Amino acid sequence: MGNKNLKKKRKEEIARNELVEQELKKSDLVQKQQVKLLILGAGDSGKSTLLKQMQILYKDGFSKEDKQLYRNVIRTNIITYIKILLKGVQMLDLKLHKSNEKIAEDFLNLPDIIDSFTPNSILASKQLWNDPAMKMSFEKRAQFQLADSAGYFLDNIDRIASENYKPSDQDILNCRISTTGVKVVEFLVNNQPWKVVDVGGQRSERKKWIHHFDDTTLLIYVVAVNEYDQKLFEDNTTNRLHESLKLFETTANNQFLSNKNCVILFNKTDLFKDKIQKVNFNKCFEDFKGSNNYEEVIKFIKTLFVKAGKNTKRSIFVHYSCATNTNEIRFVFDAVQSTILENILKEQGFM
Amino acid sequence: MNQDLVFSSSILNQKRNRISQHFSHLRQQHQFQQQYQPKFQKLHQHQRSLTARELKPKETNQNNVKIIVFENDLDDDDDKSENQNPKENPKENSKENQNKIKNEEFPSPKKITQNSPQKNDQLIRSKIFPIRKSLSQVSTVEQNQPFFNQEKKLKEKAKKSKKKNKNKNKNKNKKRKSVQNQNQNQNQNQNQNQMKQKKKINIENENKISSKFTRIIQKRKQKKLQKQKKSQKKELNEEEYSRLKEKYFSNFSEFLFVKNSTIYFRSFLQTEYSEENIDFWQEVENFRKIEIGQSKIGMNEYALKIFQQFVKTGSPKEINIDFKERAKISERVRNQNFDLQMFDSAQESICRLMENDCFVRFQISDFGKRFLNENFDLMD
């Protein structure tokens, strides 16, 4: 009897050993195949917009429930935008048209919820948006915190207020929802599993980034170049571009990321082109001594960032894009794919 | 191919260690089981045999709770002759009983079929005894009248009937049937007469007893129903899901006040490292409930605690709010100007942040589904 039991035990042990080895092989395979992308950047630079683009490019777009959510968010955002602009009017000592003064008073008392998006408030917001004083405060929006997409939505207020309004992909890409914490989304890109990590960019969120620093294959750092004359959301004294540069310097030289390849994405170039004609770049960066011209300014910013992250162990790739433009982002991700392939080949000793 | 170079060997080693630890633990468990299983089995067998001896007379007579009361008078040796035939209950009579007793508002007809008419006779003499007494008496009955004798007699009878009919049926049920056929004619006349006489008295007694036992039976039924519901929970339809979603997830500020909702939501936020938002919301909600009249110092301390934990720049659980709101609150703290509404605007902005960002992902996550499963009972 004893011998039989022993034989049984041994058989079981052998079977278990095989199981363990199979599991190890599987996990190794998954590890080898999986690509982990870290999307980092300061607040409001367009990291989540990149993720939305990936949703369109590599998944089947937005579901009905998503669209319902974005519709509500866009509608409530319109009310908050108007309120922020009205406060801006007060701050800049501008004067509204006499007929609009009462409407503005009532409007400021509205709460920022979807229920306050009534026909009355739509009419009021339309009337206010057409007021020249409001346009003035919109021009000087860099002095207070207003999302970049405010102009896009306020111009389309008629379409958004209609009963059968379904937000288009462009609307959703422009819609701003600030992220808290760290969200991980998995994609299948050309039969290759991608793990994309999107984070909140404000200062209070940055300490959570470190949870996902290990095992990264590629770091994508997003910079909003148009915010060179704006101040931070969480601190009204520091310049956004300065902050972004400093942040890149610290994260790129972190011990976990210092040997990883890096893609710097200069985002919101379309808004930057408009702004560079109105606001002098020299105001914000006194070291800059070139002419106030799109190409020269962007060259200057590029050299600053590449210098900050330069390292013998890694290579830095630079792309210019507008995150709401799907074609441009497709091009960027094609480039990212090729760099990942390059990465793998290098690590295996082929290059 | 140098494929292994892609991943550092240290990570692999860590994983190997983890898995080997897991399996060594499993091995230990397995060994333990192999050592002690035979012993446990013996124990179980012993227990079963014990319980069988104790329970058999009860089970064969009646499973119903009432029977325990009937057996009170078993000490009187007059009924021994009747007790010998518990298995020989003629089915026809029992059916008659069913119909009669159904009218008498009994909870379940199945259990009543097990009541033999002979037992019903005892009801005349039986009075309502406390259950404990009756149980002690059951054991005495066993000693007086071993159960196995009954079985032997039955088997002998069955063999005789087999020989007569020359049917080689091995099923016990058929044996019993044959026995019943023999005894039916004898017992039918007696039982019918007895029943007619004593039916009226039975009703009175049973009504008294039933009022006690219906409660117990109802409780058991409720427990069964609850168990069934729990088993059903895992298999919610898509329709039910959508219904529950509409009920609980349509309004975020209402969702936060549903019982246990914050626990599920918080454990989801922990996976995304953003639990400080819900913590802040909860703290402010508690802060607002403080009564000023009782102690103003307490409120000030609480406000300071919230400020230092959540609002101050560089605090351990710093929340993601606008610099304006942060400045407002910190100015109040600096001027010692505390107020129950001082955190309201910050709480609102945090609420909106969670609603648009985390809450959407929570609805699709496992935590959200588990929350819906939990609250399925509360629907009706």
Indicate the pLDDT class of residue A285, thresholds 50, 70 and 90. confident
Tell me what ipTM this predicted complex has: 0.85
pLDDT in tens, A196-214: 999 999 988 999 998 888 8
Q: Given an 8 Å threshold on Cβ–Cβ distance, is B23 in contact with A16?
A: yes
The partner residue sitting opposite B274, judged by closest CB among A28, A181, A349, is A181
Q: What's chain B's average pLDDT?
A: 69
pLDDT at position B180 is 57
pLDDT in tens, A307-332: 998 888 888 999 999 988 999 999 99
The minimum CA-CA distance between B380 and chain A, rounded to whole Å, is 26
User: Residue A12: pLDDT above 70?
Assistant: yes
Distance CA A193, CA A214 (A): 17
**Exposure on the CB side of residue B138, measured as CA atoms within 13 A:** 20
**Does the CB of A319 have a partner CB in chain B at under 8 Å?**
no
SS (H, E, C) chain A: CHHHHHHHHHHHHHHHHHHHHHHHHHHHHHHHHCEEEEEEECCCCCHHHHHHHHHHHHCCCCCHHHHHHHHHHHHHHHHHHHHHHHHHHHHCCCCCCHHHHHHHHHHHCCCCCHHHCCHHHHHHHHHHHCCHHHHHHHHCHHHCCCCCCHHHHHHCHHHHHCCCCCCCHHHHHHCCCCCCCEEEEEEEECCEEEEEEEECCCHHHHHHHHHHCCCCCEEEEEEEHHHHHCECCCCCCCEHHHHHHHHHHHHHCCCCCCCCEEEEEEECHHHHHHHHHHCCHHHCCCCCCCCCCHHHHHHHHHHHHHHHHCCCCCCEEEEECCCCCHHHHHHHHHHHHHHHHHHHHHHCCCC
pLDDT at position B10 is 67
**Among the listed ranges A14-18, A39-43, A277-281, B26-30, which one has the minimum average pLDDT value?**
B26-30
Segment A233-242 mean pLDDT: 88
The partner residue sitting opposite B19, judged by closest CB among A23, A179, A215, is A23
Q: Given an 8 Å threshold on Cβ–Cβ distance, is A200 in contact with B26?
A: no
The chain A residue lying nearest B16, using CA atoms, is A24
pLDDT in tens, B256-305: 998 888 999 999 999 999 999 999 999 999 888 876 666 677 788 888 89
**Does the CB of A342 have a partner CB in chain B at under 8 Å?**
no
**Does the CB of A208 have a partner CB in chain B at under 8 Å?**
yes
pLDDT at position A14 is 92
User: Residue A50: pLDDT above 80?
Assistant: yes
Q: What are phi and psi of B295, to 5 degrees?
A: -155, 115
Distance CA B309, CA B316 (A): 6
pLDDT in tens, A114-127: 888 888 888 888 88
User: Residue A47: pLDDT above 70?
Assistant: yes
**Mutating which of B273, B317, B329 best tests the A interface, going by the most A Cβ atoms within 10 A?**
B273
Q: Print pLDDT tens along chain B (380 aa).
A: 444 444 456 666 777 788 788 778 878 877 777 777 777 777 777 777 766 655 544 444 444 444 444 444 444 444 444 444 444 444 444 444 444 444 444 444 444 444 444 555 555 455 444 444 444 444 444 444 444 455 556 666 666 665 555 554 455 555 555 555 555 556 666 666 677 667 767 666 766 677 777 888 888 888 888 777 665 555 567 787 788 888 888 888 889 998 888 999 999 999 999 999 999 999 999 888 876 666 677 788 888 899 999 998 888 889 988 888 889 999 999 998 888 888 888 998 899 889 888 998 898 888 988 888 887 765 54
**Does the CB of B52 have a partner CB in chain A at under 8 Å?**
no
| CB–CB contacts below 8 A, A to B | 87
Token pair for residue A196?
């994309």
User: Residue A271: pLDDT above 70?
Assistant: yes
Q: Given an 8 Å threshold on Cβ–Cβ distance, is B320 in contact with A236?
A: no
**Mutating which of B323, B329, B351 best tests the A interface, going by the most A Cβ atoms within 10 A?**
B323
pLDDT at position B200 is 67
The partner residue sitting opposite B353, judged by closest CB among A20, A180, A183, is A180
**Mutating which of A73, A87, A204 best tests the B interface, going by the most B Cβ atoms within 10 A?**
A204
Packing angle of the helix pair A119-129, A98-108 (nearest 10 deg): 130
